[in-house]
Structure 1
Amino acid sequence: MRGSPWRASRERVRDRQVKREAVIRAAAHAFNRKGYHNTSLDDIAAALRVSKPTVYYYVSNKEQLLFECFVAGIEPIRTAFRNARSQKAPARERLRTVLGHYGQAVASEFGWCMVRAEDQDLSPAMSAHIKSLKSEIDQGIRRLLREGRSRRIDPPVRSEDDCFRARRLAQLDRALVSRESIHDRRRDRRRLHHRF
């Protein structure tokens, strides 16, 4: 008797997901290198050595690709917030962990998309969705700051520390916009990891 058809179906789903992630990674790399408006779906297809219709099989258009890159970059930060909510650690430690994930995400291959996605000429619905996700991250950081300041048992969350982290993250943002080399970004990511 042959194997279960459901197992083959699960393998096809997993295989499709792997290929879809490859399309999203190729798009992130192209957007980072050439910018959103200077990148075509033909460029992404050529980088993957597939046809343009193959790219369309995984995403409906370039705008969706930019959004998927944004989500791929921001999801580790959202996961860090979910984990922070379930931890018993002081707010300061949870904030440090979340900001570390934020810095790593901005320095990742999806960083340009995270930083610049909102600045592109996107549809109103897509812009609103991106702004909503960015607001979720902003509110999460503010919530941890308030919690750290309000609990007496936590070491105080000093505004100097907050300012340092904000300055450091802004530096990483500028580094992405100026398209520093991958080597420099990896160095910044290691430095950021050691700071937090």
Structure 2
Amino acid sequence: MPKILTNRKILLKASLKVFLKNGYYHTSFQDLAKACNIKKSHFYYYFSNKEDLMKEVLVYAHTYVKQKIFSLADQENKSAKEKLNDILNQLKQLYYNHHYGCLMGNTLLELSGKEPNIEKVITSYFDDFKQTLTSIYKDKNSSEAPEILANDTIAKLHGNIMFMKLYKDHSYLENAARQILEQF
């Protein structure tokens, strides 16, 4: 009989890895239970269904990135370029450690137009990402609109995360980060 974990955070972390690897539609509660070393029915103690679990996994991931990475934009003793460099370095480490790409981006591509409640959670993540980068680009005092630069940066990063995943080559993300920093 599997050992039952009653720690919600442990379940979310283990589920995140499974969703990242398999995607939403190709992940079953049986896959999740196996990864968490619990009975499948135990998930229903914490989550009403797979959609509820996925939303909480995405909120968990969003909160983690917001606290550990987006907060680097608030460093008062650093220039805009240094803040952006710190954020890019942390994002690179995050995506290098997860060989399957970006949970938010992958999930959005898989579920776009199909799961509006999940899309709302992903939208919130990307809104925070845009706000973080916009604040940095405002500090840059560029003639270009900070919001446009933020959108372009996110597009460049996530496009290259997909290439990195597809070709199993970190140089795509390295090159994207270098090009983004060259804007300064």
5+ unaligned residues in a row in structure 1: which ranges? 1-14, 151-162
1:105 to 87, 90, 94: 94
Percent identical among aligned pairs is: 24
* Secondary structure of residue in 1 paired with 2:44: helix
- Tell me the residue number matched to 1:139: 131
TM-superposed CA distance for 1:165, in Å, is 8.9
2:107 is the counterpart of 1:117: yes
Normalising to structure 1: TM-score of the pair?
0.64
Amino acid at match of 1:100: N
- 1:107–1:172 contact (8 Å) kept in structure 2: no
What is the rounded CA distance, in whole Å, between the counterparts of 1:68 and 1:134 in structure 2?
16
Distance 1:83 1:63, change over 3 A: same
What is the rounded CA distance, in whole Å, between the counterparts of 1:76 and 1:101 in structure 2?
12
What is the rounded CA distance, in whole Å, between the counterparts of 2:153 and 2:119 in structure 1?
29
- Tell me the residue number matched to 2:74: 85
2:164 to 143, 165, 175: 175
**Structure of larger gyration radius:** 1
| Alignment: residue pair count | 165
What is the rounded CA distance, in whole Å, between the counterparts of 1:59 and 1:76 in structure 2?
20
Query: 1:63-96 CA deviation, whole Å, 9 max, x = no partner?
Result: 2332333233333431233343242211111111
TM-superposed CA distance for 1:111, in Å, is 4.5
RMSD value, Cα: 3.7
- Tell me the residue number matched to 2:146: none
5+ unaligned residues in a row in structure 2: which ranges? 143-151
What is the rounded CA distance, in whole Å, between the counterparts of 1:126 and 1:36 in structure 2?
11
* Secondary structure of residue in 2 paired with 1:132: helix
Distance 1:168 1:34, change over 3 A: closer
